[in-house]
Amino acid sequence: MAIEELPKARIAYELRGRGGDPTVLIHGSWVDRRSWDLVVPGLAHSLDVLSYDRRGHGESTGAARIRPVEDDASDLASLLEARNHFPAHLVAHSYGAAVALRLAQERPELVRSLALHEPPFVGLLLDDPATRSEAEFLIAEARRAQALVRSGNSERAVHEALEVFTLEPGAWGRLPSAVRSGFVRHAERWVEELDDPAMLLPDPGPFRELLVPALLTYGGQSPGFLRRVTERLASAIPNARLQEIPESGHVPHLTGPDRYVGVLLTFLVERDVPVT
């Protein structure tokens, strides 16, 4: 593990690889860079892989994020420039997809491609009468969990959020104790992220200006709303390819790491994604 001192943050990161294309793994909410540990070895055979803790997560520290998506994207831009690790393939999970998209919009010269798994943009479902009530329910449940964290009930908040957003009764109890502890430890950071409108409902207009190749994936075992959100986003990005990972859910890098590595390498290496 190494530390990079950035203007507003002290970022912990790890870099592994054998001289392939620069690649960055952007973790989602509730976790840190260690959530990628099972896929790093497989990717590092072909790519130079940088995994890092976003500000306030894992071993990274820094000023409170005022606009989390924007601030996280700014941190990542500074990290890539400091390490001369660009243009990079951005591989992002859940909330991390919001960070990847913001960086691609604001600093396109730093981004070679996007591989996004199940972004959190449930607000994209609000405009369609067929999905509006579903989106309203999900946002209300997220706000309820957020209130629980603020009242000091972080463990209960995470427990109930998992039940709603994974649709798997008992999911909390099946997690290893270390994973549960990590979720609770990062709960306040998730509250910050949920306060940012860009987490749930981005402006899709700039997406139409993205020129880099993009792979948007969803799990065949994930809740249906995650597939619908991913489909809506894919339709707004010109060079996007939509792909189901049939035997996976919301965390393919944890539940089927070898399969997920294969999906990513097929997109990144076999297609030889060019620098734009």
12-35 per-position pLDDT tens digit = 999 999 889 999 999 999 999 999
Q: Where is the domain boundary, 172, 194, 216?
A: 194
Q: Say if 275 falls within a structural domain.
A: no
Over range 229-254, report the average pLDDT: 94
In a domain, 276, yes or no: no
Count of domains observed in the chain: 2
| Band of residue 144 on the pLDDT scale cut at 50, 70, 90 | very high
- Answer with the one of 194, 214, 239 that is the final residue of a domain: 194
In a domain, 46, yes or no: yes
Is residue 64 domain-shared with residue 148, that is, in the same domain? no
Residue 95 falls inside a structural domain = yes
* pLDDT given at position 180: 87
- Same domain for 118 and 238, yes or no, is yes
pLDDT at residue 9, as a whole number: 97
276 confidence band (pLDDT: 50, 70, 90): very low
Q: Are residues 85 and 212 in the same domain?
A: yes
- Digit-coded pLDDT (tens) for 104-141: 999 999 999 999 999 999 999 999 999 999 999 999 99
Mean pLDDT score across all residues of the chain = 93
Instruction: Examine the domain organization and report whether 226 and 260 are in the same domain.
Output: yes
Judgement on whether residues 111 and 136 belong to the same structural domain of the protein? no
Indicate the angle between helix axes 154-166 and 132-150, nearest 10 degrees. 160
Residue 73 lies in a domain: yes
What does the pLDDT average to over 64-81?
97
Let me know whether 113 and 231 are in one domain: yes
Q: Which pLDDT score, from 0 to 100, does residue 160 have?
A: 86
Of 43-57, 72-86, 196-210, 249-263, minimum mean pLDDT range: 196-210
End-to-end CA distance of the chain: 31
Q: Please state, in angstroms and rounded to a whole number, the distance separating the CA atoms of residues 127 and 203.
A: 13
Measured between alpha carbons, how far is 89 from 138 in angstroms, rounded to an integer?
Answer: 31
More reliable by pLDDT, 168 or 104? 104
Are 138 and 27 within one domain?
A: no
Other C-beta atoms closer than 10 Å to the C-beta of 186 total: 22
Q: Are residues 13 and 66 in the same domain?
A: yes
Q: Are residues 144 and 189 both part of a single domain?
A: yes
Q: What average pLDDT does range 240-267 have in this prediction?
A: 94
Q: Which residue has the higher pLDDT, 108 or 203?
A: 108
58 Rama class: left (phi>0) / alpha (psi -120 to 50) / beta? left
Is 171 in the same domain as 262?
no
Domain final position from 194, 222, 242: 194
Predicted confidence at residue 274, as pLDDT, reads 53
182 assigned to some structural domain = yes
pLDDT at 119: 96
Q: Is residue 100 part of a domain?
A: yes
For residue 127, tell me if it sits in a domain.
no
Q: pTM of the full predicted structure? A: 0.95
Query: Which tokens go with 236?
Result: 């707004």
pLDDT exceeds cutoff 60 at 275: no
Position 240 scores a pLDDT of 95
Domain coverage including residue 177: 132-194
Please say whether the beta carbons of 118 and 230 come within 8 A: yes
In terms of domains, do 73 and 168 share one?
A: no
At residue 273 the predicted structure's pLDDT band, cuts being 50, 70 and 90, is low
**Residue from 118, 119, 60, 114 nearest 87 by CA:** 114
Residue 33's CATH number: 3.40.50.1820
Q: What pLDDT, on a 0 to 100 scale, did the predictor assign at position 167?
A: 64
Domain check: are 15 and 143 in the same one?
no
